[in-house]
Amino acid sequence: MRAFDYFSVLLLLLVVAPCMASDVYVSDVKLGDKVTIVGPGNVTKLCPYPDCRQGQHVTRIPKGTVLKVEGMMNVKYGNSTMKWFETTYKEKRGWISINDTDQAE
């Protein structure tokens, strides 16, 4: 195998494969599915929009809370993407990060 071929295979394994695996895993969550909050204590923020900043959240959600996925959005952060779920908690609608749920990788 030529050096270019090795480089091509390495590039595929390091760049393309992880992106594909992540998309396949996350796409398993569908509208109407339930997710469980796994963040410690009451640190999970219910945001008025995906990726809200400190102090902009609507409320906090305790660990162990089960929520219904009512919407989904991917937010780009440089070269990576994070999935956000729209949900309702105590009659307040907002967004939670996949990283705060049992669906995180």
pLDDT 10s digits, 25-70: 445 899 999 999 998 878 899 999 998 888 899 999 999 999 999 9
Cβ count near 46 (within 10 Å):
22
DSSP conformational letter for 53: P
* CATH code at position 49: 2.30.30
* 84 within domain boundaries: yes
Cα–Cα distance, 85 to 100 (Å, whole number): 10
Domain span holding position 47: 30-100
* 25 within domain boundaries: no
**Residue 78, both tokens:** 């440089």
* 36 within domain boundaries: yes
Report pTM: 0.71
